[in-house]
């Protein structure tokens, strides 16, 4: 009912005579639609990209090398300090060791005084070089 009220043509006899309401193109048609590819061909070439990447990589590796140089210098400083103080520490330890060793030799002489042919403090090795005592304990008084 409402369509006939809206699209009424004066003097129409039936609904079949109504003017046609269609959705269609505007007069003159639609403007043309571009559907062709248009990928531009400008920008850096392959060689340029490769050189840029290679340049960034080499700069990074150069910085790595510089950083390693700095770190090596720091480590060298630490090692040089340790080399410088090594003799003092060794000398102090030698003094302490000699004192303890003398006490131990007296104890050994006391324990083995009845064993015939026992040489106190004799080295158990045949190489002739001095070897540190292999008791398995580094500082028994500390333990």
Residues that bind other proteins (CB under 8 A): 74, 77-78, 80-95, 97-98, 101, 129-130, 132
Between residues 6 and 80, which has the closer beta carbon with respect to other proteins? 80
- Closest to other proteins by CB, 3 vs 95, is 95
Q: Which is nearer to other proteins, 34 or 83 (CB)?
A: 83
Burial category of 94 from C-beta neighbours within 10 Å (exposed 0-12, middle 13-18, buried 19 and up): exposed
Q: What share of residues in the chain are helix, strand, coil (percent, to 5)?
A: 50, 0, 50
Cβ nearer to other proteins, comparing 45 with 127: 127
The per-residue b/e assignment along 97-110, b for 16 or more CB within 10 angstroms, e otherwise, is: eeeeeeeeeeeeee
C-alpha angle 53-58-61 in degrees, rounded to nearest 5: 125
Q: Of 42, 62, 43, 66, nearest to 54 (Cα)?
A: 62
CB of 75 to other proteins, least distance (A): 10
Rounded to a whole number of angstroms, the minimum distance from the CB of residue 38 to other proteins is 59
- DSSP 8-state secondary structure symbol assigned to residue 27: T
């Amino acid at each position: 009912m409402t369509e006939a009220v809206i699209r009424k043509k004066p003097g129409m006899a039936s609904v079949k005579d109504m003017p046609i309401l269609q959705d269609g193109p505007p007069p003159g048609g639609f403007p043309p639609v571009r559907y062709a590819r248009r990928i531009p061909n400008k920008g850096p070439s392959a060689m340029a990209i490769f050189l840029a990447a290679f340049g960034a990589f080499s700069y990074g590796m150069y910085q790595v090398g510089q950083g390693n140089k700095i770190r090596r210098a720091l480590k060298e400083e630490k090692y040089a300090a340790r080399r410088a103080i090594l003799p003092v520490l060794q000398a102090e330890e030698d003094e302490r060791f000699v004192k303890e060793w003398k006490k131990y030799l007296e104890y050994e002489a006391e324990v083995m005084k009845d064993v015939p042919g026992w040489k106190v403090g004799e080295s158990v090795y045949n190489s002739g070089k001095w070897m540190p005592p292999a008791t398995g304990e580094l500082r028994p008084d500390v333990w």
